[in-house]
A = this chain, B = another copy of it.
Amino acid sequence: MVSLAVKTGGVSFESPAILASGILDENGYTMKRVLEDGAGAVVTKSIGTEERNGYFSPVVVPEDTYLINAMGLPNPGIDSFEEEIKIALTAKKPVIGSIFASNTDDFLKLALKMQDFGVSAVELNLSCPHVQGFGSEVGSDPVLVKEIVKTLKGTIKIPVWSKLSPNVTSISEISRAASDSDALVLINTVRAMAIDIEARRPVLTNSYGGMSGTAIKPVGLRCVYEVRKETEIDIIGVGGISSYIDALEYIMAGASVFQIGTALMKYGRSIFMRITGDLEKYMISNGINNLEELVGVAVR
Instruction: Give complex CA distance A200, B288 in Å.
Output: 14
Cβ-based interface call for A19 (8 A): no
Please give, as numbers and ranges, the residues of chain B lying within 8 Å of A208 by CB-CB distance.
Answer: 222, 226
Instruction: Give complex CA distance A211, B248 in Å.
Output: 20
Evaluate whether A169 and B192 lie within 8 angstroms (CB atoms) in the complex, with A252-B197, A252-B200 already known: no
Q: Min CB distance, A65 to chain B, in Å?
A: 5
Please give, as numbers and ranges, the residues of chain B lying within 8 Å of A168 by CB-CB distance.
Answer: 168-169
Q: Please, which residue of chain B has its CB at the minimum distance from the CB of A199?
A: B298
Instruction: Give complex CA distance A211, B298 in Å.
Output: 19
Please give, as numbers and ranges, the residues of chain B lying within 8 Å of A192 by CB-CB distance.
Answer: 218-219, 221-222
Please give, as numbers and ranges, the residues of chain B lying within 8 Å of A194 by CB-CB distance.
Answer: 218, 221
**Contacting pair A225 B193 (CB below 8 A):** yes
Chain A contact residues: over half helix, strand or loop, or mixed? mixed
Most B CB contacts (10 A, CB to CB) among A66, A202, A208, A225 go to A202
**Within A183-225, which residues are at the interface with B (CB < 8 Å)?**
190-195, 197, 200-202, 207-208, 211, 214-216, 218-219, 221-222, 225
Cβ-based interface call for A300 (8 A): yes
Q: Please, which residue of chain B has its CB at the minimum distance from the CB of A222?
A: B193
Instruction: Give complex CA distance A209, B190 in Å.
Output: 17
Instruction: Give complex CA distance A297, B218 in Å.
Output: 32
**Contacting pair B140 A169 (CB below 8 A):** yes
Q: Min CB distance, A50 to chain B, in Å?
A: 27
Cβ-based interface call for A68 (8 A): yes
Range for the number of chain A residues in contact with chain B: 35 or more
Partner of A66, one of B191, B218, B297: B218
Q: Min CB distance, A61 to chain B, in Å?
A: 8
**Contacting pair B169 A215 (CB below 8 A):** no
Instruction: Give complex CA distance A226, B193 in Å.
Output: 10
Partner of A193, one of B195, B207, B221, B300: B221
Cβ-based interface call for A30 (8 A): no
Report which A residues bind B (CB closer than 8 A). 64-66, 68, 140, 167-169, 190-195, 197, 200-202, 207-208, 211, 214-216, 218-219, 221-222, 225-226, 245, 248-249, 252-253, 294, 297-298, 300
